A and B are shown apart, each in its own frame.
Chain A
Amino acid sequence: EAQVTQNPRYLITVTGKKLTVTCSQNMNHEYMSWYRQDPGLGLRQIYYSMNVEVTDKGDVPEGYKVSRKEKRNFPLILESPSPNQTSLYFCASSFGSRPFNYGYTFGSGTRLTVV
């Protein structure tokens, strides 16, 4: 089944403890992206990647890192999480080097709480 797999689904952590949210897609998509969803703010893009070894900042990149060493994987790293990073996170992927001609496929989401 074609899908984007995110892990974990739920995570509670403490301030300052490094964490990684994994994202993997099996559709051979070039484009991958991370979004966060906060009440009243809509989906906001954190980072995106047009292809392997190519990443770029979205609208809210502060406090996050990403890497794209393989086409299928696009992990989101929080080096020192803070409570304002408590949010619902989505990974998404899309076909082709011009992904905006195609709909995004979203992962199932990761609900992160930083205490």
Chain B
Amino acid sequence: ILNVEQSPQSLHVQEGDSTNFTCSFPSSNFYALHWYRWETAKSPEALFVMTLNGDEKKKGRISATLNTKEGYSYLYIKGSQPEDSATYLCAFFFASGSRLTFGEGTQLTVNP
């Protein structure tokens, strides 16, 4: 099983702060990277699907970048709000495999 590592495991920020976290994955044989947002007592929801080196995706205050050559992706949240509190999962798919491998997630808490 190829490892997907996310850091930090958890993060507490104040409302209005901007924040970012990291997803690291094996750089060889890359095919796709997904980001999901998982709120407590709900199911994960897809944020971004990224396939090309240098990809940048944005949805409102949330954006993500991808570096396939060095094997990492960053997720940024600008001006965090309490409703951004959730676990953010990344998942990696490599070209010769057949399934997404998920990281353990970064748990974000935004304090009002």
Contact = CB atoms under 8 A, between A and B. Distances in A.
B31 interface: yes
A76 B34 CA distance: 25
Interface residues of A, number: 23
A104 B104 CA distance: 17
| Interface residues on chain B, size class | 20 to 34
A41 B103 CA distance: 8
Interface SS, B side = strand
B88 interface: no
B32 A101 contact: yes
Interface stretch (A12-20, A65-73, A105-113): A105-113
A43 B102 CA distance: 6
B43 A106 contact: yes
A33 B43 contact: no
Given A42-B104, A101-B51, A58 B89 contact: no
Interface string B70-108: 000000000000000000010101000011111111000
20 contacts: A33-B99, A35-B102, A40-B104, A42-B103, A42-B104, A43-B44, A43-B89, A48-B99, A90-B44, A100-B32, A101-B49, A101-B51, A102-B49, A103-B34, A104-B44, A104-B46, A105-B46, A106-B43, A108-B43, A109-B43
